[in-house]
Homo-oligomer: A and B are copies of this chain.
Amino acid sequence: MAFLSFSIPNLVLTLFASIVTATVAPVAAGSGIPEVKAYLNGVDAPGILSFRTLVIKIIGSISAVSSSLLVGKAGPMVHTGACVASLLGQGGSKKYGLTWKWLRFFKNDRDRRDFVTCGSAAGIAAAFRAPVGGLLFAIEEMASWWRSALLWRAFFTTAIVAILLRAFIDICKSGKCGLFGTGGLIMYDVYSADASYHLADVPLVLLLGVVGGILGSLYNFLLDKVLRIYNFINEKGIAPKIFLACTISILTSCLLFGLPWLASCRPCPSDASEACPTIGRSGNYKKFQCAPGYYNDLASLIFNTNDDAIRNLFSKDTDKEFQHSSMLIFFVTCFSLSVLSYGIVAPAGLFVPAIVTGASYGRFVGMLVGSHSNLNHGLYAVLGAASFLGGSMRMTVSLCVIILELTNNLLLLPMIMLVLLISKTVADAFNGNIYDLIMKAKGFPYLETHVEPYMRQLTVGDVVTAPLQLFHGIEKVGNVVHVLRTTRHNGFPVIDENPLSETPVLYGLILRAHLITLLKKKAFLPTPNPTVNDAFSQFSAVDFAKRGSGNGDKIEDIKLSEEEMEMYVDLHPFANASPYTVVETMSLAKALILFREVGLRHLLVIPKISNGSPVMGILTRHDFMPEHILALNPLLARSRWKRLRIRFPPSLKPF
């Protein structure tokens, strides 16, 4: 009976989360951090930041977290923050009638990206009540471009989050808000004025960091493999997806309910600071199936919210509370369940599972070390969580500040920094950051910051392939429609005849979206002669504002008569007359730096000697992908061990 009343609500909640996710917004599944990170890099995958995704993410995340699955809420909260920001940045959701006129001023790529960065900072800030940590997370992990104005805006955002959280906690002190506000502004407070440790503790902590790094990279490796298997199942349709989610839910329920039987009952300590044993409330001592006066330590960890489990693991002066075997079982359970739960079709974060897993690992190490160390087991749990997070997520300063804001133990800071450094370094030798692995598995064309060594040996002329579509400054409407229908390109060079010589000159670059706007408004000329510049009277700037992803008009929707097809359109007022260009002999590595640092979508390649077309081609994000370049130049072997190689600093080469 107890098992049924535990597992059936779990199953129902999981079922609900997976059904709404699978049917309404499949992109809301998973953490959302990889998607938002890819968006901030310039990958505009459809529907990722839509209003529908937002709703499902919130509902699904609440039910998934409540269903005892080992999934976190931080990732979904980042995604939620990003969705809200993106909707604000595109002036609300037109589809659902939620629009604000003044917000249309932000309808451009850069402002929307900045909004989304601030939104993701707010997500972490709200999830962990860590405003500075959230801001740093957005800098370190999410943003691909950073500038000082953005730092200050993100700080503003997280400051508002902090002030609101503080106000709500104040208001909720009466206890009317459920679990919200427990723990105050600091979620897992482990402050102690005398957290003393000495040089003798350093080797043990180093070892903890090394093993944490190995465990973290193993976690990434396994998660990647499991995701690939799940993808195989998920591709088969909605029913298998939901079936998979239910299987995981039932497995979780069985494990959680069955495992505490393995732990023996222990007598309550006589000097316990809280009630012992207890039923139904959070705390360190759970009765489970024990006799009065006894408690089950494994049940204390399992039959709690994740937050309470972490708080128990981090607690000080409780060194004798847990048994070695219980802690080991708990660690293995968390590790495997979090690997298995992430890939199901429901919103699921990775942060909290990683903290629980790492904390149980650290606490287990602390228990093994026992009295040989000056640090108590709770602090070992903090360091273990740091090492596991560092090994899996590979962040440094943001994790450091998040842990600091979670635990409020500034004296432990040097130790946390040390552990993060060690575990990140160790784990980097094996594989990449968990979010990058997920992003790669999803096939996003993410533009890396670093340049692959073989790119230095290529010129941009070597990778330009596509047959180029050009427009003349004054082009026939039929031509424009034909080109737009037959290609998927998003940018087209505009050329002009040169009265002084035979070869034409480059005028600029025009975007597909702007061409479609021109066609839609029918801003045509009857003859191919430029008129006086009255084009702007017909258009306002808002017509050319960037739409939300997927909301743009399509060329197929535009109907033009035969007569109109024979007319002309003057592209000059609407083309970007200052596109960034590189000469064909430019090193590919340097072109990538330009592309990446300036944040371009199109880069024009111009010939070195102009005796024909003034433009050789357009480079886009896809032309810089290692897969594309290696397919064109199969002789360039991609070094597998490039991370470990000593690189020759570029300026030493006399280029």
Contacts and interface: CB of A to CB of B under 8 A. Distances in A.
B655 A578 contact: yes
Given A421-B156, A581-B582, A411 B186 contact: yes
Given A155-B396, A396-B155, A597-B598, A418 B545 contact: no
A135 B397 contact: yes
Contacts of A573: 654
Interface of A: 105-111, 131-132, 135-136, 139-140, 146-149, 151-152, 155-156, 158-159, 162-163, 165-167, 170, 184-186, 191, 193, 198-199, 396-397, 400-401, 404-405, 408, 410-411, 413-414, 417-418, 420-421, 424, 449-450, 459, 498, 500-501, 505-506, 514, 539, 541-542, 544-546, 573-574, 576-578, 580-583, 585-587, 590, 593-594, 597-598, 606, 608-611, 648-655
A590 B578 contact: yes
Given A140-B148, A155-B417, A506-B608, 13 more contacts: A131-B413, A131-B417, A136-B397, A140-B151, A148-B449, A149-B450, A185-B413, A185-B414, A506-B583, A578-B655, A580-B594, A583-B606, A594-B598
Contacts of A587: 577-578
Given A400-B132, A417-B131, A581-B581, A653 B159 contact: no
Nearest to A140: B151
A578 B585 CA distance: 7
A141 B505 CA distance: 44
Contacts of A166: 414
A108 B608 contact: no
A140 B151 CA distance: 8
A148 B655 CA distance: 25
Contacts of A608: 505-506
A263 B585 CA distance: 77
Copies in the complex: 2
A200 to B, nearest CB: 11
Contact of A653 (B109, B449, B541): B541
A149 B546 CA distance: 32
Contacts of A146: 146
B651 A546 contact: yes
Nearest to A587: B578
Nearest to A647: B105
B544 A110 contact: no
Contact of A609 (B140, B397, B505): B505
5 contacts: A131-B413, A140-B148, A163-B417, A408-B410, A544-B652
Contacts of A156: 421
Contacts of A152: 396, 424
Contacts of A162: 413-414, 417
A544 B654 CA distance: 7
A574 B542 CA distance: 50
Those 3 A-B pairs whose CB atoms lie nearest each other, nearest first: A108-B651, A159-B417, A162-B414
If over half of A's interface residues share one DSSP class (helix, strand or loop), that class is named, otherwise mixed; here it is: helix
A542 B500 CA distance: 48
A652 B198 contact: no
A155 B581 contact: no
A151 B582 contact: no
B501 A186 contact: no
A408 B412 CA distance: 12
Contacts of A506: 583, 608
A652 B542 contact: yes
A411 B185 contact: yes
A158 B594 contact: no
Given A593-B598, A598-B598, A609-B501, A651 B578 contact: no
A363 to B, nearest CB: 23
A410 B650 contact: no
A547 to B, nearest CB: 12
A459 to B, nearest CB: 8
Contacts of A147: 449
A396 B151 contact: yes
A410 B158 contact: no
Which residue, A139, A401, A408, A583, has most C-beta atoms of chain B within 10 A?
A583
Contacts of A654: 514, 539, 541, 544, 573-574
Contacts of A139: 139, 151
Given A162-B417, A418-B159, A198 B170 contact: yes
A163 B202 CA distance: 10
Nearest to A170: B198
A159 B414 contact: yes
Nearest to A424: B152
Given A159-B421, A608-B505, A577 B132 contact: no
A545 B449 contact: no
Contacts of A500: 609, 611
A420 B132 CA distance: 13
A185 B404 CA distance: 15
